[in-house]
Structure 1
């Protein structure tokens, strides 16, 4: 995991991805599954919530959340009308547990703040879902130092979002390091940013 010493001293700011960089994405997904399964048990009295949770969790480990509702619907005979409830939960679920930052990332971000570096979050995916994750994160007081850019609002164009960030914050590309998964490295390369993998 990344350490503060991985960052070049002259950098003024960092851009961080959200999912699986700041926190484990599955911590959100699995809580949504839990809420949906309990909703279905309450409304229809079938299937038992734990049976559905077990199925969804096991499938998630192999296939992720793609087509999850369709598979659950086929397996347990759930009416497709509940797909709207499932999708709505993803957007606005009130989670039973706060989402927690990776310990190493929390320490890294705290050191950024102490050293007066700016922190930006670039996040892909549905902006409503990503916003819901951010609002339910335990930031440990860091939230007042963050500025978030939802790439969906920039047509999922990393370079467009970056240009806006540079203009709004009076920064140059050379001032910034992008920190993400290895799969994010291409965005950094295309946009001319230095890159550090969170999995170093």
Structure 2
């Protein structure tokens, strides 16, 4: 992934719409904490596998094979019953993770410049709205904390479900032309 710098964006635009995962912070920082919590839950519930062993295994599968292979691999290797898939999914959506999510330093600098110029910042995110909102609760805004309440959140899937085009919708919401909106997403 290539992280953006201020020079990469036209800071004369009025609205900057950021994705969360792998743009503001590394998605894996959230998922690895979820795997740790799931390991602890499973150890407490079943007592057959050490939480750390399960969490490390899940991390390895995630890093090598991807998120969608994690549960099936853990199920096969550790004999986890299918009924626990729902627990993992629920935990992923609602986890009370132990560590804050750190914004990439380059993104923090870019956001600071955007906020200081009085521009609008929005989160334009895909995926489960409950999970995405949950992640927002755990972001460490640091020096940007005073700006976080001015950030609006939009869920791409919900807008598209209403058969509305995203950028024109944002343009109306902010009272700007479509050309005045810059979308920053993971490539």
For 1:111 and 1:159, locate their aligned partners in 2 and report how far apart those are by CA, in whole Å. 31
Aligned: 1:117 with 2:119: yes
For 1:72 and 1:3, locate their aligned partners in 2 and report how far apart those are by CA, in whole Å. 39
Task: Give unpaired runs (5+ residues) of structure 2.
Answer: none
| Residues 10-29 of structure 1: pairs in structure 2 closer than 5 A | 10-29=12-31
TM-score calculated relative to the size of structure 1: 0.85
Contact 1:124 1:156 in 2 (8 A): no
1:181 CA drift (Å):
2.6
| Residues 127-146 of structure 1: pairs in structure 2 closer than 5 A | 127-140=129-142, 141=145, 142-146=147-151
For 1:16 and 1:156, locate their aligned partners in 2 and report how far apart those are by CA, in whole Å. 20
Residue in 2 that maps onto 1:192: none
Task: Give unpaired runs (5+ residues) of structure 1.
Answer: 183-200
TM-score calculated relative to the size of structure 2: 0.90
Number of equivalenced pairs = 182
1:161 CA drift (Å):
2.4
Residue in 1 that maps onto 2:173: 168
Residue in 2 that maps onto 1:101: 103
1:180 CA drift (Å):
2.2
For 1:176 and 1:92, locate their aligned partners in 2 and report how far apart those are by CA, in whole Å. 31
Which aligned runs of 4 or more in structure 1 are off by greater than 3 angstroms? 155-159
Residue in 1 that maps onto 2:185: 180
SS of 2:10's equivalent? Answer: coil
After superposition, what is the alpha-carbon deviation per residue over 1:54-104, rounded to whole angstroms, capped at 9, x for unaligned?
A: 211111111221032222111111122222211110110000101110011
